[in-house]
Every structure is written in C-alpha cells, then in structure tokens.
Amino acid sequence: MFGQYDIPVNVETGGCAIRVTEHDGAFLYHREAGGETTQKWILADQCRLLVNPVEPVNRPNELTQLLLIEFEKPVLVEPKGKKTVFLTFPVEVGVFVSKTGEGGDEGMIEVIDGFTLAGQKLTLYGDPDNGQICRYWMSGVFPSMPGTDPRREGVMEIEISSGTDKWAEVTRTVLSAPHMKLYFSDRLVSMKARMTITGEKSAETAFTDQPVEEGMQKSVELYRVRKMAVLSTAFTMEHGL
C-alpha cells in the first residue's frame, strides 16, 4: 500500500481501497477504509500520489500532538540502567499529492487525505485541569521485534534508560508527533525512540532519525508538509510514568 503511484491508480489491500480515476481532464480521488468513504476532485495537469504512514495522532480529530503508549505490563528499570525493547504503535496513513512535470519538487507536496485501520482512542495524561489529551494505544513490551500488519501497526524500537539512582517502574511512554521519524517497507512501519527517566515521575522522550532495519524508506513528515514549526527536540513527561 505505501509508496508512490502515478495516476490514475487503483490500490486495494486488506480492508482499504484507494482509487484515482480520470474524468475529462480532472482526477477523482476515492478512498474506502475503516467503514469511511472519502472523495475529492484533484485539478492538476500532472501529479503523483504518495501513500505514506504518518504521525499517528490525527484521528479521530486533530486534537493532540501526543501519542501515549500504555504498556500491557509495567517495566522495572534498574538504577542507571539502559535497555532496548520493542513496542507497537497504531499506523495512520497519509495520502499526499505531489506535482510533477515542470517545477515539480518536494515542496509541492500537499496532504489530501488521512485514515487509519487501527483502533482510535483518546486519553488524558495528567489531571483534567493541567493535563494533556493524547492519542491512546496499548502495547505489549517485546524483547525482540514482533511481527505486525504494517497497515495497522508499526514497530517502535525504544531505548529506555534511567538517569536516577533508584529503580523506576514505567507503565507508559508519551511521544511527541512533530519529532517522530517514520520509516516504512513492504512488511514493516517503524520508529526509533529513546526514553530517559529523569525522576520519580518524569522522563524525556525523543526520536532517532534511523530505520530499525536496512532498506526502509523514510516517510513524508506531516508536520513539515504543513509547515508547522518544531521548537524543541524532546518531549518532557511531567505527569508520571
């Protein structure tokens, strides 16, 4: 499903159908996925369709830039310890149109659609008066890379380290979408992250701009396409681990 397509195009795979058909010089974009149908006209002479995984925080509504992954089982981290484990995360699909022909370049990419085949849920991180709304996901903690359906779930390689002198129990991690670096291949969608425990109830999360295995392609960054400023390089979890 992920990749670049010259239009007209017809992509159907596991519960999702994307079609772009030509009608008298105009292109009709049609998408069916997750029980939803979307149609849009594309008025362009020459363009290409890009289907990429994007930062999974846009559904059900664009209410948050944060993804909270809750661990099925708590993780105990030794003092000053560092370990790498694997989590899953929900995949959201972004559909972009890219102008080709004369003057076509990466700067001419525009997002036209977004959807997900994964479950959608929101949660609150912190208290109702000063907390933050996050996209919610429950994940197992795996010592090695788990198998996933890349249309629904991605794999996150996360290095959890502790900067404290005490054992730390971690039940969740909160990640910021503007910092995410997604990579994809035919069989896998991935991110590489790190979580540094800085206190009893605080930690910092950040991303590494690398795929988890060779041969993966970097995904279009939605926040860059939308020209949204990213002011910091890490997110600080302040409302508990």
Partner 1 sequence: MILEKVIYNDVTLLDLMIAAGILLAAVLAARILSLVVKKQLRDKVKDDSLKLVARIIHYGVMLTAFISVLPLLGFSLSGLLVAGGITGLVIGFAGQKIGSNLLSGIILMVERPVKIGQQVGIGGTEGYVEDVNILSTIIRTYRGHFVRVPNEKVFTESITNYVANVARRFDYTVGIRYSDDAEKAIEVTMAVIDDFPLALKHPAPRVFVDNLGDNSVNLAVWVWTPSTEWFEARMHLLWKIKKGIEAAGIQVPFPQRVVWFADKAKPSNRDEK
Residues near partner 1, by CB under 8 A: 59-61, 63, 70, 120-125, 128-133, 136
For the bound state, the minimum distance from the C-beta of residue 80 to partner 1, rounded and expressed in Å, comes to: 30
Q: Helices (H) and strands (E) in the chain — how many of each?
A: 1, 19
Q: How far is CA 126 from the centre of its chain?
A: 22
> Closer CB to partner 1, residue 120 or residue 210?
120
> Closer CB to partner 1, residue 63 or residue 234?
63
For the bound state, the minimum distance from the C-beta of residue 133 to partner 1, rounded and expressed in Å, comes to: 5
For the bound state, the minimum distance from the C-beta of residue 130 to partner 1, rounded and expressed in Å, comes to: 8
| Distance in Å from the first CA to the final CA of the chain | 36
For the bound state, the minimum distance from the C-beta of residue 174 to partner 1, rounded and expressed in Å, comes to: 12
User: What whole-number distance in Å separates Cα of residue 150 and Cα of residue 187?
Assistant: 6
Q: Checking DSSP bridges between strand 153-162 and strand 189-197, what pairing results, if any?
A: parallel
For the bound state, the minimum distance from the C-beta of residue 129 to partner 1, rounded and expressed in Å, comes to: 5
> Closer CB to partner 1, residue 34 or residue 104?
34
User: What whole-number distance in Å separates Cα of residue 194 and Cα of residue 205?
Assistant: 6
- Do the beta carbons of residue 115 and residue 93 sit within 8 Å? yes
SS3 label, residue 233: coil
> Closer CB to partner 1, residue 99 or residue 172?
172
User: What whole-number distance in Å separates Cα of residue 182 and Cα of residue 94?
Assistant: 12
> Closer CB to partner 1, residue 109 or residue 134?
134
